[in-house]
Structure 1
Amino acid sequence: MKNATIKLPVLYEEILTESRKINFPMLSDLYTGSFLRTLVSSKPTGRFLELGTGTGLSLAWIVEGMTNRSSIVSIDNDQYCQSVARHMFGSDPRVSLICTDGNEWIMENIEERFDFIFADAWPGKYSLLDETLSMLNPGGFYLIDDMLPQPNWPDGHQEIVDNLISELQKYSNLQITVINWSTGLILVSKI
């Protein structure tokens, strides 16, 4: 299959430039971004959660898929990196950027419900998995990336990934698809 040209979000190049200026190393994959945009667009009045704003590259894809009736909360604990996203999305009333510890935010907001959760950081993926999945509405999507070996993985990280996949497979109220594409994705839908 011939590679199709991926239409980039409006702010993508500007965020990419700013990310490189501050040497932000965790740039989101184009295929994952395109997938995010597609999933988000399936929920035109959705409430979305991103755990791990970074500089906002993934957020740019998510916002591109959103309608004026949807909203997103994006969490990161690094104010310096998140300042790029704040500059780009700070005036968008659909976007709430919160700089705090992800684990603390999850525990303080455990009663919140979302139609889509993108867990792109340790919290919500490798820690507080039960709590994060409890925040997902029935019919909602939970997406995690970087499940295939990455150059920045520390020794022993593959075992952590394998344990996460095994843990996800124990839930009786989830449909799970492991996707060996892009950086390695796991898409979950809650029954």
Structure 2
Amino acid sequence: MNDRDWLNEPKAVEGIWNDSVTAGFTMASDPLTCSLLRTLAASKASARFLEHGSGTGLSTAWILHGMDQSSSLITVDNDESLIEILRTHLGSDPRLEIVCADGDSFLQSQDGEHYDFIFADTWSGKYSLLDRALELVKPGGLYIIDDMLPQPNWPDGHAAKVESLINCLEADCRFHVTKISWASGIILAAKL
């Protein structure tokens, strides 16, 4: 079995990828991670999804591809130039709300909100305001992060931050946590 065979990527991915390369964006999620996100999204009917760290929309496209028509996705990023690529390719999907904002400010503004699925692909909701992000997950909901295996673009000292994050998630008795040493390194946490 080859896990890169027949990924069946969403139609928008090729255009997003081409525009990402042209823009010099090098922080895109791994295609294997994206495929897993789509599969997990398909398990959540009539659900509320939150993606923190939209980038150019590659993972957004995969999540949307897995979602049913009665679900909704809010994707948040603070870089308008990247969001413009996302908006060009995915902005016509009525299930999608695109927010250009500081991630921490967005999380702090979510009083009373809860989500069935949170993909935290940036510092906010992962290394900063982790507790706030975890509070927003509904019982039975998923909290998903990637880039847990060493990456060439990690700054000095980042490995210790990753270890601390993993330890926090493992110690949180509100979640069942599975660590997957695959793709860029994924953690799935399901809220009890």
Please give the range of the TM-score, normalised by the shorter of the 2 chains: over 0.9
How do residues 22-171 of structure 1 correspond to structure 2 at under 5 angstroms?
Answer: 22-171=23-172
Q: CA deviation at 1:64?
A: 0.3
| SS class of match (1:44) | coil
What residue is the counterpart of 1:189 in the other structure?
190
| SS class of match (1:169) | helix
Contact persistence 2:52–2:124 (CA under 8 A): yes
What residue is the counterpart of 2:178 in the other structure?
177
TM-score (norm. length: structure 1) = 0.98
Contact persistence 1:48–1:73 (CA under 8 A): yes
Q: Distance in 1 between matches of 2:23 and 2:116?
A: 32
Moved more, 87-96 or 34-43: 87-96
| SS class of match (1:74) | strand
**Structure 1 portions without partners, runs of 5+:** none
Q: Distance in 2 between matches of 1:152 and 1:41?
A: 31
Contact persistence 1:110–1:131 (CA under 8 A): no
Q: CA deviation at 1:110?
A: 3.2
Q: Distance in 2 between matches of 1:56 and 1:133?
A: 23
| SS class of match (1:49) | strand
Moved more, 86-95 or 47-56: 86-95
Q: Distance in 2 between matches of 1:89 and 1:57?
A: 10
Q: Identity across aligned pairs (percent)?
A: 48
Q: Distance in 2 between matches of 1:102 and 1:161?
A: 19
Alignment size in residue pairs: 191
**Structure 2 portions without partners, runs of 5+:** none
Q: CA deviation at 1:10?
A: 1.1
| SS class of match (1:115) | strand
TM-score (norm. length: structure 2) = 0.97
Moved more, 2-11 or 118-127: 2-11
